[in-house]
Structure 1
Amino acid sequence: MSNNKLIIFDTTLRDGEQSPGASMTRDEKLRIARALERMRVDVIEAGFAAASPGDFEAIKAIAETVKESTVCSLARASEKDIRAAGEAIRPAARGRIHTFIATSPIHMEKKLRMSPDQVVEAAVRAVRLAREYTDDVEFSAEDAVRSEMDFLVRIFDAVIQAGAKTINVPDTVGYALPDQWAARFRELIERVPNSDKVVWSTHCHNDLGMAVANSLAAVMAGARQVECTINGLGERAGNASLEEVVMAVRTRRDAFQIETGIDTTQLVPTSKLVSSITGYPVQPNKAIVGANAFAHESGIHQDGVLKHRETYEIMRAEDVGWTTNKLTLGKLSGRNAFRTRLQELGVELESEEALNAAFARFKELADKKREIYDEDLQALVTGVGEEAVETLRLISLKVCSETGETPHAQVVLSVDGEERHAESVGGGPVDAVFKGIESIVQSGSALTLYSVNNITSGTDAQGEVTVRVEKDGRIVNGQGADTDIVIASAKAYLNALNRLRQPEQRQHPQLGDV
């Protein structure tokens, strides 16, 4: 591999999914994987095959679908994990197993309860077993940031001899500082035998807000793979943001003198897709993909940009995928035009029933909203295909909200096919609706998040509501979209309660982390 190429390793579907409530269905993972492939991501870490049968099947489906990107599964340094990962990636045109074990004194002693010798033996055994399934094996030393340098040199030497092709050095707890992280990479590359025979990778968490800075410092010190996520999604404070890493390298070619293979025009569409599916909104001032990333409020800035764009813009908005909302369809548009536009957006519905459900939603929206944009279509297909397990359904809703009066709601639901009615009051119309729904369903869950975002501009825009509910340690997200924000809220709450009622298909994916 050329030393001028930076490999982009996306772990949105694995590490990103470890965000509370961000667990994705198989179909949702496939949609994101297709978007990552269109973006020309080098490696897609599709999940943790040993986490559950659901995760295994999702990785396998992605391996069967994705042809251009390498499909990777994470695995602890255990035979069970590695065999699950190997079987999951077997259909892939290019497959990788990413195995890891903790190497810091605190992790080895308190978590693993293993001696350093045992950890090295387990790592070597894991890499050799992974090589039975693929030649593309990556090894990570979990909590490398707090590991002793001599031990890292020892274990990396051993796994390289065992056949590892990529060595990942993770800042698992987001503790590193850029200059120290760069120094650690330089020393490892200098001291580890055969360091020039492998790709050095960095995986940084954002607990101190420095994941991107640390990742780029590692690149400056010789790393040629960055592990990152769309929108910086991830547990705790998240991971290094893919879009920020990619655009920093592209914009500052003078400093990095390397290239990625990423199609940057796909950054914004993919960001919106991930946000829609996970329910994690992108803050307006987020670099690259935030709504205000290329907005200029100051008169001085506006004047400068009008005279010469580069006075205040170091990137072009269109280069990262920002375009004017594209009017696509109207109420007279047919099923074929609808299907074609979805395909152009990278949305592939797997059955005629799913297409019919999405088309019905489209027609309902077209009766309420004169202009329908690509963002509306993306929202329409979120959750399509889940209706087969929808045991709670909104039949009708009436809300009264008047100045000086307590808001009042009348709710009619279908619960397992039986019509149920409720009346309730609340601090606001949405609160009244939620209390009415809960009085019928009696889920016993706690609402931990309520978020509203407009999908497009204008007073007739759809509002997209995300709710997060928790019960007995299980966390799920629900989403709903409608031109009426109260109805959207009811849809989102019912969507979450429907998911909560389904058997949990997977454990929380935080079985281990790098």
Structure 2
Amino acid sequence: MPAHRYTDVYTRVDVPLADHDRRWPTRRITAAPLWVPVDLRDGNQALAEPMDPERKRRLFELMVRMGYTEIEVGYPSASQTDYDFVRLLAETDIAPDDVTIVVFTPARRDLIERTVESIRDVRNPVVIHMYAATAPIWRDTVLGKDRDELREMILAGGRDVWELAGHLPNVRFEFSPEVFTLTEPDYVIEICDAITELWQATPARPVILNLPATVEVATPNVYADQIEYMDRTLARRDGVILSVHPHNDRGTGIACAELAVLAGAQRVEGCIFGTGERTGNVDIATLALNLYTQGVDPMIDFSDIDEIRRTVEYCTRMEIHPRHPYVGDLVHTAFSGTHQDAIKKGMAEHRARARVEGRSEREIAWRVPYLPIDPADIGRTYDAVIRVNSQSGKGGIAYLLEAEYGIELPRRLQMDLSRRVQQYTDTTGDEVTARDIWGIFSAAYLSDADDRAVRLTAMHLDEAAGRTELTLQVDGTESHSTHQDAGPIEALAAALHAHEMPVEILSLHQSSMRSRADADALTILEYRTADGSAWTAGRDRSSLTATLDAVIRAANADAGARTAVAP
């Protein structure tokens, strides 16, 4: 590939920070920045089918419910739909009083006039966001202006904004030097300081300086250096809200945003799930939930993430990738056997700690392998945490049976059942559900042959006399036996032994199935065979009947095995 065509002259701007003088590498994020979703403007511009008014309103109302307090709602000078939506906010009460409305405009007087007209009589706090491209290649190729000419164009736009809206008490101002990442640092400082002076930035009426990675062109540490340099160099810093707007061209937009906050950014613009031009704007959901997994309140409500996803997918007509962080269908799902085993053990340990501490599972610290977040915290159930395909192991199979049916499998049986499930998935190539696994289990350990060699047709237990009476049907012939000082299981074993059909029980496990409102008892039995051991099971409303049934099944299986190898 012709890598020589790309040079770091294009992909990097040197930041004048002294060596070893960075502050951001040693910092930690301890509080959420101000999140500003731009789905209705930047995200909307990236859609093959831009949102109609109904979709814009639905997405706006979702953002309000989630707790966003500042929302960029459109580009009213460029789109009649956006203009009408801003007017809708002015003329109705769908925007709560504490939500700040942001409108976007280029640095051009006629478009600024249209923008200011759109916010007429808006009761909410308003931010007028003016932008202009400042990077050399944009200056030379797109705008045809040198540094001085562009500076004057930007300040002229700033003066127009101040003239038309500076007197409005509910209006503040934002400026973006577009493609900040490729603009010379001294030039950005020069323009930003001139703008904050023009707009009279003070702590009481701060100006937002938004520093976008309009095109992501360098590693995240470079962006962090650029933001730290601005944070340390800007005039009137206490009257400035330092904002960032990363895109994701290199796939590191989230890292850029996180490092930018460490470097001094107080505000982050992005889209709920990263919708935007090219590879997208930065993903606010991932950023916010990254903080959440570090014990920091993200200040946005993602407790019903599936409803948020459904709304965003409807409004944008774009599906969320199944492996998208936090929200994708498969992000809390393990197919790998080793992952499943670790998750199963971690979930069991989590439940045990909750019992020991006498608190609910939602109250104690979350420490489960492979799951950085408790799925329940974002409205997910545990049903989809473990799913089984040909890559899965015994842990996942056992987890699904326990989660769906309440059955706890002995470890050695997990290995036997896993082999059978593996044969099924290798043959079909399909994922298997808990219901499929139960079907495989039933066929292997609960099936009844029509020609059973032995059946238990009657049993009478005389507890007072300590006597058990049995009636067996062996190869079609009934026989009765009485067993003194023997319980039902011992009596059945003795009767089978007398018919040369011994069943040596190695282990016996009982559980209650949750497949019905009235749970059935399930007995799982391991018995000795000529080759080692095997498994069978019994199921009934009575645990005793279920156990007797399992013993009879073992006897028939062993008899069938002997018949199969007889000369």
Q: TM-score range by the shorter chain?
A: 0.5 to 0.7
Q: Which residue of 1 aligns with 2:294?
A: 252
Q: Give per-residue Cα distances to partners, 1:229-267, cap 9 Å, x unaligned.
A: 0221111111111111111122235xxxx6542112144
Q: Which residue of 1 aligns with 2:375?
A: 317
Letter in 1 for 2:155: V
Q: After superposition, where does 1:220-299 map in structure 2 within 5 Å?
A: 220-253=262-295, 259-299=297-337
For 1:118 and 1:272, locate their aligned partners in 2 and report how far apart those are by CA, in whole Å: 47
Match of 2:77, SS state, is helix
Letter in 2 for 1:115: D
Q: Which residue of 1 aligns with 2:158?
A: 127
* 1:198 aligned residue (205, 224, 240): 240
Letter in 1 for 2:339: H
Match of 1:97, SS state, is strand
Residue 285 of structure 1 deviates from its aligned partner by 0.6
Residue 92 of structure 1 deviates from its aligned partner by 4.2
- Output the TM-score relative to the length of structure 2: 0.54
For 1:154 and 1:46, locate their aligned partners in 2 and report how far apart those are by CA, in whole Å: 29
Q: Which residue of 2 aligns with 1:162?
A: 198
Q: Are residues 260 and 128 of structure 1, via their aligned partners in 2, closer, same or farther at CA, if it must alter by over 3 Å? A: farther
Letter in 2 for 1:110: T
For the pair shown, which has the larger CA radius of gyration, 1 or 2?
Answer: 2
Letter in 1 for 2:342: G
Q: Are residues 293 and 147 of structure 1, via their aligned partners in 2, closer, same or farther at CA, if it must alter by over 3 Å? A: same
* 1:52 aligned residue (52, 76, 79): 79
Q: Are residues 284 and 99 of structure 1, via their aligned partners in 2, closer, same or farther at CA, if it must alter by over 3 Å? A: same
Q: Which residue of 2 aligns with 1:39?
A: 66
Match of 1:159, SS state, is helix
Q: Are residues 20 and 30 of structure 1, via their aligned partners in 2, closer, same or farther at CA, if it must alter by over 3 Å? A: closer
Q: Give per-residue Cα distances to partners, 1:144-177, cap 9 Å, x unaligned.
A: 1110111001011111112261111111112131
Q: Give per-residue Cα distances to partners, 1:326-353, cap 9 Å, x unaligned.
A: xxxxxxxxxxxxxxxxxxxxxxxxxxxx
For 1:284 and 1:240, locate their aligned partners in 2 and report how far apart those are by CA, in whole Å: 18
Q: Give per-residue Cα distances to partners, 1:258-289, cap 9 Å, x unaligned.
A: 65421121443222211122221111111011
Q: Which residue of 1 aligns with 2:106?
A: 76
Q: 1:8 touches 1:260 (CA, 8 Å); kept in 2?
A: no
Letter in 1 for 2:331: A
Q: Are residues 323 and 94 of structure 1, via their aligned partners in 2, closer, same or farther at CA, if it must alter by over 3 Å? A: farther
Higher mean displacement: 118-127 or 274-283: 118-127
Q: Give per-residue Cα distances to partners, 1:1-26, cap 9 Å, x unaligned.
A: x9945100100111111224140011
Q: After superposition, where does 1:182-193 map in structure 2 within 5 Å?
A: 182-193=224-235
Q: 2:231 touches 2:237 (CA, 8 Å); kept in 1?
A: yes
1:114 aligns with 2:114: no
Q: 1:73 touches 1:96 (CA, 8 Å); kept in 2?
A: yes
For 2:304 and 2:129, locate their aligned partners in 1 and report how far apart those are by CA, in whole Å: 26
Letter in 2 for 1:33: F
For 2:197 and 2:306, locate their aligned partners in 1 and report how far apart those are by CA, in whole Å: 41
For 2:235 and 2:39, locate their aligned partners in 1 and report how far apart those are by CA, in whole Å: 32
For 1:170 and 1:5, locate their aligned partners in 2 and report how far apart those are by CA, in whole Å: 19
Match of 1:50, SS state, is coil
Q: Which residue of 2 aligns with 1:485?
A: none
Q: After superposition, where does 1:322-337 map in structure 2 within 5 Å?
A: 322=380
Letter in 2 for 1:18: Q
Q: 1:36 touches 1:270 (CA, 8 Å); kept in 2?
A: no
For 2:161 and 2:236, locate their aligned partners in 1 and report how far apart those are by CA, in whole Å: 20
Aligned residues: 321
Residue 124 of structure 1 deviates from its aligned partner by 2.9
* 2:176 aligned residue (140, 151, 161): 140
Q: Which residue of 1 aligns with 2:55?
A: 28
* 2:125 aligned residue (83, 88, 94): 94
* 2:136 aligned residue (105, 114, 118): 105
Q: Which residue of 2 aligns with 1:217?
A: 259
Aligned CA RMSD, in angstroms, stands at 2.3
Match of 1:227, SS state, is strand
For 1:6 and 1:260, locate their aligned partners in 2 and report how far apart those are by CA, in whole Å: 8
For 2:161 and 2:123, locate their aligned partners in 1 and report how far apart those are by CA, in whole Å: 15
Letter in 2 for 1:34: E
Residue 83 of structure 1 deviates from its aligned partner by 2.3
Q: Which runs of 5+ in 1 are unaligned?
A: 326-457, 459-514
Q: 1:19 touches 1:235 (CA, 8 Å); kept in 2?
A: yes
Q: Which residue of 2 aligns with 1:66?
A: 95
Q: After superposition, where does 1:336-485 map in structure 2 within 5 Å?
A: none
Letter in 2 for 1:84: R
Residue 208 of structure 1 deviates from its aligned partner by 1.0
Greater RCO structure (CA 8 Å; 6+ sep): 1
Q: Give per-residue Cα distances to partners, 1:67-109, cap 9 Å, x unaligned.
A: 1421111100112222222232332412111110111111122
Residue 207 of structure 1 deviates from its aligned partner by 1.1
Residue 307 of structure 1 deviates from its aligned partner by 2.7
Q: Give per-residue Cα distances to partners, 1:10-44, cap 9 Å, x unaligned.
A: 00111111224140011110000000011111321
For 1:275 and 1:152, locate their aligned partners in 2 and report how far apart those are by CA, in whole Å: 37
Q: Are residues 324 and 313 of structure 1, via their aligned partners in 2, closer, same or farther at CA, if it must alter by over 3 Å? A: closer
Q: Are residues 248 and 5 of structure 1, via their aligned partners in 2, closer, same or farther at CA, if it must alter by over 3 Å? A: closer
Letter in 2 for 1:95: V
For 1:38 and 1:93, locate their aligned partners in 2 and report how far apart those are by CA, in whole Å: 17
Residue 130 of structure 1 deviates from its aligned partner by 3.0
Identity %: 28
Q: Which residue of 2 aligns with 1:305?
A: 343
Q: Are residues 17 and 272 of structure 1, via their aligned partners in 2, closer, same or farther at CA, if it must alter by over 3 Å? A: same
Residue 323 of structure 1 deviates from its aligned partner by 5.1
Q: Are residues 110 and 230 of structure 1, via their aligned partners in 2, closer, same or farther at CA, if it must alter by over 3 Å? A: same
For 1:59 and 1:295, locate their aligned partners in 2 and report how far apart those are by CA, in whole Å: 41
Q: 1:71 touches 1:89 (CA, 8 Å); kept in 2?
A: no
Q: After superposition, where does 1:485-504 map in structure 2 within 5 Å?
A: none
Q: 2:32 touches 2:288 (CA, 8 Å); kept in 1?
A: no
Q: Are residues 322 and 92 of structure 1, via their aligned partners in 2, closer, same or farther at CA, if it must alter by over 3 Å? A: farther
* 1:18 aligned residue (31, 42, 45): 45
Letter in 2 for 1:210: T
For 1:199 and 1:94, locate their aligned partners in 2 and report how far apart those are by CA, in whole Å: 16
Match of 2:273, SS state, is helix
For 2:297 and 2:375, locate their aligned partners in 1 and report how far apart those are by CA, in whole Å: 20
Letter in 2 for 1:218: A
Match of 1:264, SS state, is coil
